[in-house]
Structure 1
Amino acid sequence: MELEDRLTAIEERLAALERSERTPTGASTSGDLWVLDNIGDSVVFAGDVHTGAGHAQYQWQRPTEMLLDADWAPHLDRLATLAHPVRGAILRRLLDSPASATELVDEGLATSTGTAYHHLGTLHAGGWISKEMGGRWSVRTARVIPLLTIIAATEDH
């Protein structure tokens, strides 16, 4: 087999693997759409998005009973972290690219570095962002899809 044929075969296998990894558990694909099969009594959300800050793929599924029986306090605390306009603006900005507290002030998202650090600390404690080398902050990859799902869920349905 020629090198080019081998490379083509590898690329085809890789593409098939990537398609299967993006498909939620209990689902099959129909073109670019997922068809949920036998997911049972559960809540599922998933996404495959590109933002200015990068690419994120994520899928989450939980049985309904588990969600209804859980202590909601830690979940509501994490959600409350988002319920501030400055933190919302910071998260939206960080989806474009990582930024330092100084950059957030320079861009008018916070009135001072102290205010920026206060909101960054709250978002960090809530698990939404992480600090990179050089003092720059970014939205955790595992939180991009959940964040966008929350925004989508609050649309007027």
Structure 2
Amino acid sequence: MELIERLSAIEERLAALETSAPPHRDTSGDLWVLDNLVDSVGFAGDVRTGASHAQYQWQRDTTTLLGEDWAPHITRLAALAHPIRGHILRRLLEGDATVGDLVDEEIATSTGTAYHHLDALHAGGWVSKAAGGRWHVRAARVVPLLTIISATEDH
């Protein structure tokens, strides 16, 4: 049954792509424009990491994004804004890890440091802890995380 559902989803995506206008460059030549996605921002990904496989797609209209309170979003972003947290997230994308693993692998200098950074990432919704004290990046956050990293590249 799963295969039939997956095939149906692929066929729906293909039909949507075939009926939408093809992308074209805007007048400045710097951006690609999809006419059927006017006034929206979106991202999607199909990612395989050492830890998991994540498929995710998100799209929001700009009116909503510009009209809502950004404080929760900034809080989630702030949780990422530390080099040790970046190292932790990269490590967790390879596979679940305990605090002891992070210290043993010299990603964190002590268990206290590891917990401090994991707590911040957890509060931001980026990671969760499973049985046995093993931490992982939440599946729903893998593609958004990599999108953020990609968005910070020099364009």
Q: Provide TM-score, normalisation by structure 1.
A: 0.82
Question: Is the CA contact 1:28–1:37 (under 8 Å) kept in the aligned structure 2?
Answer: no
**Which whole-Å CA distance do the structure 2 matches of 1:85 and 1:20 have between them?**
41
Q: Does 2:17 align with 1:28?
A: yes
How far residue 13 of structure 1 moved from its aligned partner, in angstroms, is 3.7
> Which residue of structure 1 aligns with residue 77 of structure 2?
79
Q: Cα deviations across residues 93-150 of structure 1 (Å, max 9, x unaligned)?
A: 0000000000000000000001101101110010000001110000000000000000
Q: Which runs of 4+ in 1 moved over 4 A?
A: 34-37
**Which whole-Å CA distance do the structure 1 matches of 2:152 and 2:113 have between them?**
27
**Which whole-Å CA distance do the structure 2 matches of 1:124 and 1:15 have between them?**
31
Gaps of 5+ in 1: 1-9
Taking a change above 3 Å as real, the CA distance of residues 69 and 28 of structure 1, as seen in their structure-2 partners, is same
How far residue 42 of structure 1 moved from its aligned partner, in angstroms, is 0.5
Q: Does 2:44 align with 1:46?
A: yes
Question: Is the CA contact 1:44–1:60 (under 8 Å) kept in the aligned structure 2?
Answer: yes
Task: Say which SS state the counterpart of residue 92 (structure 1) adopts.
Answer: helix
**Which whole-Å CA distance do the structure 2 matches of 1:20 and 1:29 have between them?**
10
Q: Does 2:58 align with 1:67?
A: no
> Which residue of structure 2 aligns with residue 126 of structure 1?
124
How far residue 38 of structure 1 moved from its aligned partner, in angstroms, is 1.9
Q: Provide TM-score, normalisation by structure 2.
A: 0.83
Task: Say which SS state the counterpart of residue 153 (structure 2) adopts.
Answer: coil
Percent identical among aligned pairs is 64
Task: Say which SS state the counterpart of residue 94 (structure 2) adopts.
Answer: coil
Q: Does 2:8 align with 1:17?
A: yes
Q: Cα deviations across residues 62-105 of structure 1 (Å, max 9, x unaligned)?
A: 00011111111111111011010000000000000000000000
